[in-house]
Chain A
Amino acid sequence: MHEMSLCESVLQILESEAGRQGFSRVKAVWLEIGELSSVEIDAMRFSYDVVTRNSLADGSTLEIIRVPGTAWCMQCAQSVNIKQRFDACPDCGSYQLQVTGGEEMRIKELEVE
């Protein structure tokens, strides 16, 4: 359940941004979560609700933007989509893949007041 820690980190960022950017309430948060990032979205939503209670983000909406897993296939010399880290190249079946995207865990934007 490291989703709980991740949500606590999100809340810390919200709290420090509140001081810096002058807002007191967070109404919505957009997170970019890669498909290879080992984050369970349902657990994330549950933890977010728990962690933000009685905070400046109490009752805020959590929007999740999934980023597809992508990798560079060394055999085909092209970028391919993968669902998991150990997937083979969908074109040539090689496992010589270098993950290039889908590991993101970022706060993208906020709606605040």
Chain B
Amino acid sequence: MMCTVCGCGEGETRIEGEEPHHDHTHEHTHAHRHGDGHDHGHDHHHGEPGDLHYGKGPARAHAPGMDQARMIAIEQDILGKNDQYAAANRGRFAQLGVLTLNLVSSPGSGKTTLLTRTLRDLKEEMPLAVIEGDQETSNDADRIRATGVPAIQVNTGKGCHLDAHQVGHAVDHLGLQEGAVLMIENVGNLVCPAAFDLGEAHKVAILSITEGEDKPIKYPDMFHAADLLLLNKIDLLPHLQFDIARCMEYAQRVNPGIQILQVSATTGEGMDQWYRWLRLNREARLVGHATAAEPKPAEVPA
């Protein structure tokens, strides 16, 4: 499929079943380590001593108005383009009555296990679909497809997050059913995906109790952006020193409105609450939406 309005930043994205269409990879990444002997008159505070070069010419020394130079005020959000793609996705989901969730976590939180269990338990009840984001491999999409639920893998290459443009393309290939629940499993990363709206209805953060209980305040942006927190691997609690109350307090500190559920994808404990949350949110999407998933209103005789 040819992208006509292409504007995504990543050069290495691969979507299953699609030819890569962005080949402007930036391979000159570390070409500017020093040793080339030129002089910098500026003093940015670097993280590491004198190793990186951030632009030629002395900072703050240029004089606007000299030669043909002129100033232009543009006032544009850096992520404006992503937000436009996200809005387009959101419109598409609304039209189809699709509930889209953006699942975010660290690597190793048990996200894929939680997802596959959810799919197995709910696939007879409602149409489901999955977009899998990983830097490399289609292992996770393969695990998802083994459940019988359609899945598309997006490999982000060097990218550390999914963006709305990639999701739009993946949706093209998924063939979403009306009234479906679309789960987007983002790249395992608690930092970058927080900034990129994909057009989802909710971000769902998954934190396993084998991680530190202070993760919500170590990575506040993500927990701030999430509407629901699933505390996973709760079955391991007897073997760990994990203070659930403290973890919940930290999460509520960065996000007073966050909902928190304790679950175990392995034993199934607490999963019914998560399914209840899913059903209620899906129902809310379907209100007023005439889909096959909802009983059709009785025909009024003419």
Interface, chain A (partner B; CB < 8 A)? 1-2, 4-6, 8-10, 12-13, 17, 21, 23, 27-28, 31, 36-38, 42, 45-46, 48-51, 53-54, 59-63, 84-86, 95-96, 105-113
Contacts and interface: CB of A to CB of B under 8 A. Distances in A.
Given A42-B46, A49-B32, A105-B77, 14 more contacts: A8-B9, A8-B10, A13-B74, A13-B76, A27-B62, A42-B47, A45-B52, A50-B31, A51-B26, A63-B59, A86-B254, A95-B253, A107-B76, A111-B64
Contacts of A112: 69-72
A17 B72 contact: yes
A9 to B, nearest CB: 5
A86 B54 CA distance: 31
A45 B45 CA distance: 11
B290 interface: no
B9 A12 contact: yes
Interface of B: 7, 9-10, 26, 28-32, 44-47, 52-57, 59-60, 62, 64, 67-82, 158-161, 163, 191-192, 194-196, 216-217, 220-221, 224, 250, 252-254, 256
Given A49-B53, A50-B29, A85 B62 contact: no
Pick from B32, B71, B216 the residue with the most CB of A within 10 Å.
B71
- The list of the 4 closest CB pairs from A to B, nearest first, reads A8-B9, A2-B192, A45-B54, A85-B220
Contacts of A95: 252-253, 256
Contact of B62 (A10, A13, A45, A61): A61
A60 B62 CA distance: 10
Contacts, number: 151
Contact of B161 (A5, A21, A37, A109): A5
B72 A110 contact: yes
A111 B70 contact: yes
